[in-house]
Structure 1
Amino acid sequence: MRKPLILIVVVVLVVLYASLFVVQEGQRGIVLRFGKVLRDSENKPEIFSPGLHFKIPFIETVKTLDARIQTMENQADRFVTMEKKDLIVDSYIKWRISDFSRYYLATGGGDVSQAEVLLKRKFSDRLRSELGRLDVKGIVTDSRNRLMTDVREALNSGTAGDGEVETTAADNAIASAAARVERETKGAQPAVNPNSMAALGIEVVDVRIKQISLPAEVSDAIFQRMRAEREAVARRHRSQGQEEAEKLRAAADYEVTRTLAEAERTSLITRGEADAETARLFADAFSQDPAFFAFIRSLRAYENSFSSNNDIMVLSPDSDFFRFMKSPATTTPTPAGRP
């Protein structure tokens, strides 16, 4: 008796456990019955909010959708500006599911990869269109934030009515998904622009450009030109420096030459004045006694003439040069004014 009761309790617990499911915070749940989505009275998929819910065990299964903001990294791609210049743009997108039932139907069962493919194509087409309207300066400076805002609004609201005539493959794919949703819900879904991400039940929260760079071949050419310009500036500065150095060197040489010439002139003037003063002093001294002056001059002549033992002089003994070497009686000079 006890064993069947235990078995019944175990079966009831298993059935109860299989009947319960929990939707975590940041997620939404969709119940599938025999592989088909449970729908409400408007034929829209029934969405379960976070919390504890019931389902028919072994018949119904639960598929969860991420309700949080998701980040999609875009591969760096080449874009052309208004100036017909190529740029390599690296960007990312922040997006979330805004309409879970539409998102589930449009993406073929909530396939995130399919949603991101469509979003990436649409974003690339729109970003290419916006960049084609701006020049490089506007893209990398003040117009960059406005560019991101325009792209985000265009993704959310669509591009209809903005003057664009040509539709892209991404627009056609999104419109096809929107038409499929309308067919499955029989028009019960609110009307949205089939050219916007709202047709997929997606809201673009933010769009950002991480990096803008030039292609390798353009970068090399620009770097070569910048290097040539810098080298030209360096050569100009060097030549100006050499010119200033030559000017300073010439001015210094001129100043040295002028200073030396002035010093030489001053020294010659001083020496001439000293020689004149010396001559004057000698003249004043010797003019007081001419005989003594003659005697002194002869002594100096003797000193200079007989300073070397190898000197030979051929002179007459009666020469006036030896008058002071003779007897004092005959060599005494006659005083001035006496007979």
Structure 2
Amino acid sequence: MSSKFIGITGLALVVLAVTAFGSLYTVNQIQQAVVFQFGKPIRIVTEPGLHVKMPFVQNVDYYDKRVLDFNLPVQEPITDDQKKMLIDSFARYRIVDPLKVFQTVRTEAVIRTRIDGLINSAMRNVVGNVPLTSLLSKEREQIMLDIRNQVNGEVAQFGIEVIDVRIRRADLPSQNSQAIFERMKSQREQAAKKIRSEGAEAAQRIRAEADKNRTVILAEARKKGEILRGEGDGAKNDILAKAYGKDAVFFDFYRSMQSYRSALGSDGTTMVLSPDSEFFRYFNQSIEK
């Protein structure tokens, strides 16, 4: 075997190895790829593993398919009640269409620049329509959701989806915070005073109504009692009249006994009467017998 043959064989093996190596590429778990042929995209590969391409005429660009974090610069939007805010936030996004990314923004740096600008614009728009108190309350969650939705309406054209926009801190500039705090405190105190005043007025109104109802109820009860008492006295008189009609002597005796019990029933009762008084007629009759 000549040295020339060995050289040709070795060269062929090298070319074959280079060709074989150039025809294979790997996509790992966190990647997605765009395959180009003569500089034009021809397919998107999202499945991880070993893949084949045409050597020398096809090349591959890789894009991350994980959810990525992006710390945003501090924004300075103005609220609906004209309060300048300092908002520290971050975004989480992912590439959902690597072909669109290649056709529009291409690089990670440009992606982040676009997201930064769009979030800044959306934050100024959303925060500009809410008062300061909304940023400091549970309404902040809805504010972040509104910012995310507005940004997603713009970044879809770049093949990107913003998963979340989070506000870490929302502060007032140091030179304004104390004055605004005092103003808010004064407003809350005025609101509390108004609520207490309205509560006291309502309580007084309820008490007056209750007193009025009490007076009416007592008056009606007294009236009903007088009516019942009158009816009872009338019935009593009817009964007594009937009894008197049946046995006048006994009825007169019974009435006298009732009078004795009423007049003499209490201890220490002193009466000055003539022995011949009509009041003692039944006593006199008893003595005579």
TM-score in same-fold range (> 0.5): yes
Report what 2:23 is aligned to.
Answer: 19
1:208-287 to 2 correspondence within 5 Å?
Answer: 208-219=166-177, 221=179
> 2-side partners of 1:24 and 1:134: how far apart?
45
Change in Cα spacing, 1:10 to 1:94, as seen in structure 2 (3 Å) is same
2:130 aligned with 1:126, yes or no? no
User: RMSD of the alignment, in Å?
Assistant: 2.2
Q: 3-state SS of the aligned residue for 1:68?
A: coil
1:7-156 to 2 correspondence within 5 Å?
Answer: 7-34=11-38, 36-39=39-42, 46-49=43-46, 50-107=48-105, 110-156=106-152
Q: 3-state SS of the aligned residue for 2:85?
A: strand
The residue identity in structure 2 corresponding to 1:37 is: K
Report what 1:201 is aligned to.
Answer: 159
RCO comparison, higher one (Cα < 8 Å, 6+): 1
Change in Cα spacing, 1:121 to 1:203, as seen in structure 2 (3 Å) is same
CA drift of 1:33 comes to: 3.1
Deviation digits for residues 64-120 of structure 1, max 9, x if unmatched?
11111111111112110111011100101100011221121111xx21111221111
CA drift of 1:6 comes to: 4.2
Deviation digits for residues 20-48 of structure 1, max 9, x if unmatched?
111111111122334x1233xxxxxx112
Deviation digits for residues 211-241 of structure 1, max 9, x if unmatched?
1111132136568x69xx9xxxxxxxxxxxx
> 2-side partners of 1:102 and 1:38: how far apart?
10
Mind listing any 5+ residue stretches in structure 2 that lack a counterpart?
187-289
> 1-side partners of 2:151 and 2:74: how far apart?
19
Deviation digits for residues 167-223 of structure 1, max 9, x if unmatched?
xxxxxxxxxxxxxxxxxxxxxxxxxxxxx2111111110110011111132136568
> 2-side partners of 1:37 and 1:119: how far apart?
26
The residue identity in structure 1 corresponding to 2:137 is: T
The residue identity in structure 1 corresponding to 2:88 is: D
Q: 3-state SS of the aligned residue for 1:38?
A: strand
Q: 3-state SS of the aligned residue for 2:86?
A: strand
> 1-side partners of 2:59 and 2:130: how far apart?
51
Displaced runs of 4+ in structure 1, greater than 3 A?
4-7, 219-223
Q: Is the 8 A contact 1:88 1:213 kept in 2?
A: yes
CA drift of 1:14 comes to: 2.1
In the alignment of these two chains, the number of paired residues is 179
Give me the identity figure in percent.
Answer: 29
> 1-side partners of 2:58 and 2:176: how far apart?
59
Q: 3-state SS of the aligned residue for 1:133?
A: coil
Q: Is the 8 A contact 1:30 1:37 kept in 2?
A: no
Report what 1:328 is aligned to.
Answer: none
Q: Is the 8 A contact 1:29 1:62 kept in 2?
A: yes
Structure number, greater radius of gyration = 1
Q: Is the 8 A contact 2:93 2:160 kept in 1?
A: yes
Q: Which moved more, 1:52-61 or 1:145-154?
A: 52-61
Q: Which has the higher helix share?
A: 2
Q: Is the 8 A contact 2:33 2:62 kept in 1?
A: yes
Report what 1:296 is aligned to.
Answer: none
TM-score by length of 1: 0.49
Report what 1:299 is aligned to.
Answer: none
